[in-house]
């Protein structure tokens, strides 16, 4: 399953691989330099097909094509302790404090409940991925999540 986007540190080409390869290395098809696949990732949902997409922090604001539905997706980017991403419902740019990464928020334009992209420090961190999967399974926020 190809779903982890990252950049070759030598030539800057956007590469995509399976997250199971995180921490290993691969030859860049452009410059042939060994590119290390990152283990720190940001998880967001494709606005087109709702599949989870993962990107390395260096993909800050880059546009990629979803490997499942080919929709263009802008990777989240940071500015001044805020994470900026696109609402999957109305395509409006949304900005939230980094402390809210991974939490449900209300889109200021369409008022839909959306989940801010989440940071995972180590791919393969079973506890973090279990929490993420449990949150994604919910169709509506709990009262506790609404008050956050």
* Cα Rg of the chain, angstroms: 15
Mind listing the pLDDT tens digit of every residue in the chain (148 residues)? Answer: 678 999 999 999 999 998 888 889 999 999 999 999 998 888 888 888 888 899 998 898 899 999 999 999 999 987 778 889 988 889 899 999 988 888 999 999 999 999 899 878 766 555 555 555 665 555 555 556 555 4
- From CA 39, how far away is CA 13, in angstroms rounded? 18
User: For 20-67, what is the HEC assignment?
Assistant: HHCCCEEECCCCCCEEECCCCEEEEECCCCCCEEEECHHHCCCEEECC
pLDDT of residue 13: 93
The answer to whether residues 102 and 119 touch, using CB atoms and an 8 Å cutoff, is yes
Nearest to 118 by CA among 139, 138, 96: 96
Nearest to 57 by CA among 4, 135, 96: 4
Residue 72, token pair as written in the block: 């263009």
The answer to whether residues 16 and 7 touch, using CB atoms and an 8 Å cutoff, is no
- From CA 13, how far away is CA 105, in angstroms rounded? 33
Residue 74, token pair as written in the block: 């802008």
What element of type H or E holds 70? none
pLDDT of residue 109: 95
């Amino acid at each position: 399953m190809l779903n982890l986007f990252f950049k070759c540190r030598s030539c800057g080409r956007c590469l995509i691989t399976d997250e199971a390869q995180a921490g290993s290395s691969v030859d860049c098809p452009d410059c042939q330099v060994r590119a290390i696949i990152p283990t720190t990732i940001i998880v967001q949902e494709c606005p087109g097909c709702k599949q989870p997409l993962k990107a390395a922090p260096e993909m800050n604001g880059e546009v990629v094509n979803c490997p499942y539905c080919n929709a263009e997706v802008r990777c989240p980017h940071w500015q001044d302790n805020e994470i900026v991403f696109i609402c999957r419902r109305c395509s409006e740019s949304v900005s939230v404090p980094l402390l809210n990464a991974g939490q449900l928020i209300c889109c200021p334009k369409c008022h839909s409940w959306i989940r801010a992209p989440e940071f995972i420090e180590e791919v393969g961190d079973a506890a973090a991925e279990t929490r993420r999967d449990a949150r994604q399974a919910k169709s509506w926020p709990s009262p506790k999540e609404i008050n956050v």
